Amino acid sequence: MTQNTSEILIPVIERLNRIEKILKQSDTPNLMTIKDLVAYTRLSEATIRRALMRGTLKPFKEDGKKLFRKSDVDVWLKG
């Protein structure tokens, strides 16, 4: 790698590291599992599963897992 390339990449890597640190410090993940939802909403797992069956709460699948976006959950909670 040339000196110029290193000089360009070092600040980019440092900035990415800062961004990653900020994202890890978030109290609530942007993507949640059902267990995360139970903790976040303080609703029972049965209540959340009923909402899934009724279609009022819609997950998306990633790598075969049902995940929920925090923004979608917040909208669902507001009714």
Where are the domains positioned within the chain?
Answer: 3-78
Please enumerate, as own/partner, the contacts of 37-44 that have beta carbons within 8 Å and a separation of 24 or more: 37/68, 37/73, 40/70, 40/73, 41/73, 41/77
For the chain, the farthest-separated pair of C-alpha atoms sits apart, in whole angstroms, at 59
Give the pLDDT mean for 7-22: 86
Prediction pTM value: 0.60
- The string of pLDDT tens digits covering residues 16-65 is 888 877 766 665 578 999 999 999 999 999 999 999 999 999 998 888 88
Please state which CATH class domain 3-78 belongs to. Answer: mainly alpha
